[in-house]
Amino acid sequence: MLLLEHSYPCGWGSLFFQQAKYLDIPLGAYGPDPSGGYSYTHMMQIWAAANATKSDVIMWWWNPDGTYTSYLDTEAEMTPVILTPPTQQCLDNRADPELRCFINDNNQSSFLTDASIYGSPLGACGTAPQALQKGYVKGLQQLMEDPSRPKAMWSPAYDVLKNYQLTDFQMTEIYQMWTSMTAADPSLGPRDATCQWVVDNFALIQSWVPEGFPRVIEKHNFTKEGRFVGAMCVACLAMGMLAICMGVTFARRNTKVIYYTQQKFLNLMQFGLISVAAAACLVAIVPREATCKALPFLENIGYSFALVPLVVRLYSINKLFASGKQMR
């Protein structure tokens, strides 16, 4: 039986030396890395070679991971070695994993001592489980739940991200599906496996959706409501009456009343009032890009043409009366 220990690369935080020394594990690290470890690619190759030659290998690895799931239910299935359960006291007495990088370095190893390399016996325990955490900036919640907007307009994105959580078992399922799909079709990747897992577990995905979502868009035909019909009738009636007034004004343009009133002022006022009536019609219909742009234009032009001539006319009349009083 060939029993080898393959540790992490130098840049990874392995605690092998401390655990092997104080837990009486007769293993050593003799890889090409300064810490005695191997690269990630070499570690995968070593495990594949051990599977091919039916050799025994002790190696640092983790779960969930695609390599771990690819060997499930095979002779090379990874079997975890359970070390002393981790405690807070053990975690507080861990050796500095960065010093592993200088153990086999002749220029740096001179300053290392057994205490710095191996640490305290109190720190020789197994690795504590690390739950995946989700971090969000505070601005995300403030952006999604802006108090200046109605609550009905808030986006559910923040609540969806807060509810989203995958367990180690579910991650293992995705990796297993990826392995089986790749074996059948090498062109398929992790994205395909994830999408298929979502389809198979859609009920779980729906449980992440906040209450009240997704919202159902209901189309409401308000053109048959009484208020819509009444508004359109009033606007159309106003436009019709103004059109009649313009026709009568033009037909009687040579009469004394129209002549002294000055037809130009009347035409400007009537044009402005018709523009306001047309804007009233646009308010009642279904808003579109064209109507939304035309509405403020017609309102501003209409009130300008309707009110400015009236103000100028009143000013002229008042000035005329003032001049008459002075002549007396």
Do the beta carbons of residue 175 and residue 64 sit within 8 Å?
yes
Least confident of 157-166, 210-219, 289-298, 319-328: 319-328
Instruction: Report d(CA 194, CA 208) in Å as an integer.
Output: 17
Residue pointed to by tokens 């009920």: 203
Whether the pLDDT of residue 316 is over 50: the answer is: yes
User: How far from the centroid of its chain's Cα atoms is residue 217's Cα?
Assistant: 22
Q: What is the pLDDT of residue 113?
A: 56
Residue pointed to by tokens 């130098």: 10
Do the beta carbons of residue 141 and residue 159 sit within 8 Å?
no
Q: What is the pLDDT of residue 109?
A: 45
How does the average pLDDT of the chain come out, rounded? 77
Instruction: Report d(CA 242, CA 248) in Å as an integer.
Output: 10
What value does the mean pLDDT take over residues 35-61?
Answer: 83
Residue pointed to by tokens 């062109």: 187
Residue 88, classed as helix, strand or coil, is helix
Q: What percent of the chain has pLDDT over 90?
A: 2
Whether the pLDDT of residue 85 is over 70: the answer is: yes
Residue pointed to by tokens 């090498």: 186
Least confident of 90-94, 229-233, 315-319: 315-319
| DSSP structure class, residue 101 | G
Most confidently modeled of 5-9, 12-16, 122-126, 212-216? 122-126
Residue 151, classed as helix, strand or coil, is helix
Q: What residues pair up with 59 in beta bridges, in sequence order?
A: 6
Whether the pLDDT of residue 73 is over 70: the answer is: yes
Do the beta carbons of residue 249 and residue 270 sit within 8 Å?
yes
For 221-272, what is each residue's pLDDT tens digit?
666 777 777 877 887 888 888 888 888 878 887 887 777 667 777 777 878 8
Q: What residues pair up with 5 in beta bridges, in sequence order?
A: 58
